[in-house]
Chain A
Amino acid sequence: MMITIGILTIAVIALAVLVYKLKSKDEETQQQLSQLNQQIDNMVEAATLEAAQAELAQVSSSSRAEIDNVRNEARVQIDEALEAKAALENELAITLENINNQSNTEKADVTDGLVRVKKDLEDLQGLLITFERWHESLSQLMEHNSVMHKQNEEFFKIVKQIVILALNAAIEAARAGEFGRGFAVVADEVRSLAMRSQELSESYRENLSKNDFLTTSTFQDIQASGKMLYTEVLSTTAKVEALISKHG
């Protein structure tokens, strides 16, 4: 029994040793496996990298070709554009020259026109002489009106005298009685004529006054408008002169 127990104990110990050893072996194996896995991973990674490098090289080569193509196409297009630009510049230069020539001709025409307008305006300034002439004529007219006023006043006084004379004649005729009857008729006629002359003279005086006013107001309007026109002509002449000096 003791032997059996001893054997069993030894067996257990041996089994324990074995288990221990197996465990140690297993750990070692696990470690080796892990290392192996690592190595495999490294190998896979290296292979992937190599493949990727190969692929990249391929892509890079294709892209470069494509870039080269694009570059070439772009160069061709740039060359074409440069040619077109040169042609356009040439065309523009010719057009500009034509425009410039035309503009010079037109400018010369405008300047000539402005010089002619300026001369016409300077001639128009002679209007002042016309206004002076009108002024003189109207002054004469006003003086003439004034003389007519005076003459009419004189005539009015004479007519008043005639009225008084006719009245006196009628009185004398009445005093002469039968002998003065014919004379009384004449005196009445003279008085009647004198009264009509007086009315006429008064109406004439009114018309002369109206004439004075209308002549003066018309003359003044003409004179003022003339001065306004003259100022306008001077101002326009100055503007034309400024344009000539700008364009000439």
Chain B
Amino acid sequence: MVNPEFEKVLKASFLDGFEGALRDCAPSMQWECKELRENKGLQSEEAVVLTISSHLFRIIYFLYFTNDAKCHEFVSSGLNIKNENLPQSRVYDYLCEVGNSFFGAIKRTLGNTVPSLGMSTPNILDKSCFKYVGELKIDSDGFAVAQMNGQPLFYASYHLSASGELNFEVEQAATEEVVDAGELEFF
């Protein structure tokens, strides 16, 4: 259903977008994003959810987070305000912005291969909703973790649902980028 070249682009754009967005938000932190074999994000409390659609497929992306002290530290650092003055609404707004930046980067990369794409606005979903992603007909998926200063802070996943054969011609440059996208470490 999904050709391997396109699958590579999907995966590489997912990991690059994840790390890039977090580095942009908190450049002073040490960030490392790694691919996972299973979706560890399901353990998180909430997730920013966003969809990228084309004529032939839709991809639903999750940025999982737990609204705890570590998360607040990340948000207050990004907003440059003190942790104790951080209202809950600002936390959600900021994480939605991170999601927008993350998934927007993916959309730009995929745009080099797929002729026309559209991206939704982000929404926040509760943990109880995560398991229902299986209700969609998933043809391809991927999972990753982002570690801040060596500690896991965010998880992410993508789930592609195709309406037909996805045989996009991937430019050579894009494939080379994928090859050089860094080693994948499995947990």
- On B, residues with C-beta under 8 Å from A are 49-55, 58, 60, 116-121, 123, 125-126, 128-130, 132-133, 135-136
Number of interface residues of A (CB under 8 A): 24
**Partner among A209, A219, A220, A231 whose Cβ is within 8 Å of the Cβ of B132:** A209
Which residue in chain A gives the minimum CB-CB distance to B115? A232
Cβ B123 vs Cβ A224 within 8 A:
no
Inter-subunit contact A224/B135 (CB<8 Å): no
Would you give the shortest CB distance from A225 to chain B, in whole angstroms? 5
Q: Does A228 contact B (CB under 8 A)?
A: yes
In the complex, whether A26 has a CB less than 8 A from a CB of chain B is no
A154 adjacent to chain B (CB < 8 Å): no
Asked whether A220 and B128 contact (CB < 8 A) given A210-B135, A231-B118, the answer is: no
Q: How far is the CA of A200 from the CA of B54 in the complex (A)?
A: 39
Interface set, chain A 58-117, CB cutoff 8 A to B: none
Cβ contact of B135, chosen from A213, A223, A227, cutoff 8 A: A213
Considering the chains assembled together, what is the distance between the CA atoms of A217 and B51 in angstroms? 7
Q: Mark A212-230, 1 if CB is under 8 A from B, else 0.
A: 1110110111011111111
Q: Is the CB of B132 within 8 A of A213?
A: yes
B49 touches A220 (CB 8 A): yes
* CB-based nearest B residue for A232: B116
Residues of chain B within 8 A of A213, CB atoms compared: 125, 129-130, 132-133, 135
A216: which B residues are within 8 A, CB to CB?
49, 123, 125, 129
Do A223 and B51 touch across chains, with their CB atoms under 8 A apart? yes
A61 CB → nearest B CB, Å:
81
Q: Contacts A142-B123, A210-B129, A213-B129 given; indicate if A220 touches B51 (C-beta within 8 A).
A: yes
Q: How far is the CB of B55 from chain A (nearest CB, A)?
A: 8
Q: State whether the Cβ of A160 lies closer than 8 Å to any Cβ in chain B.
A: no
Q: Hey, which chain A residues are within 8 Å of B119, CB to CB?
A: 224, 227
Contacts of A219 in B (CB 8 A): 120, 123
Beta-carbon contact of A224 and B52 below 8 Å: yes
What 0/1 pattern do residues 22 to 50 of A give for CB contact below 8 A with B? 00000000000000000000000000000
How far is A121 from B49 in the complex, measured between Cα atoms in Å?
Answer: 32
Contacts of A224 in B (CB 8 A): 51-53, 58, 117-120
Number of inter-chain CB pairs below 8 Å: 74
Of the candidates B53, B126, B128, B136, which one forms a contact with A228 in the assembled complex, judged by CB atoms under 8 Å apart?
B53
- List 30 A–B pairs whose Cβ atoms lie within 8 Å, in order of A's numbering: A135-B121, A142-B123, A205-B128, A206-B128, A209-B126, A209-B129, A210-B135, A216-B125, A216-B129, A217-B60, A217-B136, A220-B49, A220-B120, A221-B51, A221-B53, A221-B120, A223-B120, A223-B121, A224-B51, A224-B52, A224-B58, A224-B119, A225-B53, A227-B119, A227-B120, A228-B118, A230-B118, A231-B116, A231-B118, A232-B116
Known: A212-B126, A220-B49, A220-B51. A227 touches B136 (CB 8 A): no
Q: A216-B49, A221-B58 are in contact. Are A226 and B129 (CB under 8 A)?
A: no
Q: Which residues of A contact B120 (CB under 8 A)?
A: 219-221, 223-224, 227
Distance in angstroms from B127 CB to nearest chain A CB is 9
Specify which chain A residues have a CB less than 8 angstroms from the CB of B117 in the assembled complex. Answer: 224, 228
The residues of A that contact B51 with a CB separation of less than 8 Å are 217, 220-221, 223-224
Chain A residues closer than 8 Å to B126, beta-carbon distance: 209, 212
Q: A205-B128, A212-B129, A229-B118 are in contact. Are A220 and B50 (CB under 8 A)?
A: yes
Tell me the complex Cα distance, A110–B135, Å.
49
CA distance A220 to B120 in the complex (A): 5
A221 to chain B: which residues have CB within 8 Å?
51, 53, 58, 120
Cα A232 to Cα B116 with chains together (Å): 7
- Neighbouring A residues of B52 by C-beta, 8 Å: 224
Decide if B132 touches A228 in the complex (CB within 8 Å).
Answer: no
CA distance A231 to B54 in the complex (A): 12
Chain B contacts of A205 at CB under 8 A? 128
Cα-based distance from A146 to B126 in the complex (angstroms) = 11
The complex places the Cα of A216 from the Cα of B60 at a distance, in Å, of 10
Chain B's nearest CB lies how many Å from the CB of A102?
Answer: 37
